Amino acid sequence: MKTAIKLLALAFVMLIGTASFAQKPKPKQQTQHKHMNKDSAFAKVSKRLNLTAEQQTKLKVIMKQNHDEMKALKASIKNATKEEKRKAVVAQMQKNDERVKQVLNEQQKTEYDKMKAEHKAEMKKHREAHKDDRKRDGNRNKSTAPAQTKPEQHEGDHDEDILDDGIL
């Protein structure tokens, strides 16, 4: 009887131990821009552009102004078509880009343009990866009931796509 109790206790301990060491599924990997806070992103850009303290102060004001203008713009174009929204946001981004470039010297402008090109390439790569994920998910959902399928999304369906050039 004692042996049976010991075996039962050992089996229970092993069961609990195994369950506690079971690997939990990893959450979907977030992109770097979701984790990076604005201050660390600004510090990284400042370092790469070798900004002076005066330039940093001016750019922070420009960033705040752009944020406020973009927020107001998005509220004002809520009922616009997708193309009208895209044009409005692109125009605001170009306006902001010109403000930023007024603060930079020629060498910094060159590096800034290089950073924007790198960022655009990263965003394109990111969209392509998610496009592949959506295709896989779409194929998986085709075998399920129609109520569970997701509508197919196209590359242009993301508002973030038009923000590819934004560094600051």
Q: Examine residue 94 and state whether it is found in any structural domain, yes or no.
A: yes
What pLDDT was estimated at residue 148? Answer: 46
Task: Identify the band that residue 20 occupies on the pLDDT scale cut at 50, 70 and 90.
Answer: low
pLDDT confidence bin for 152, thresholds 50/70/90: very low
Please check the confidence at residue 16 and state whether its pLDDT lies above 70: no
What's CA 153's distance to the chain center, in Å?
A: 18
Is residue 87 situated within a structural domain?
yes
26 inside domain: no
Least confident of 121-130, 138-147, 154-163: 154-163
Residue 155: HSE in the Cβ half-sphere, 13 Å Cα cutoff: 9
pLDDT band at 64 (very low <50, low <70, confident <90, very high): very high
Q: Which domain holds residue 118?
A: 38-127+158-168
2 or 56: whose pLDDT is higher?
56
Amino acid identity, position 48: R
Q: How many CA atoms lie within 13 A of 107 on its CB side?
A: 4
**Per-residue pLDDT tens digits for 83-119:** 999 999 999 999 999 999 999 999 999 999 999 999 9
Query: Into how many domains does the chain fold?
Result: 1
pLDDT at 43 over 50: yes
Instruction: Mark residue 36 as left, alpha or beta (left: phi above 0; alpha: psi -120 to 50; beta: remaining).
Output: beta
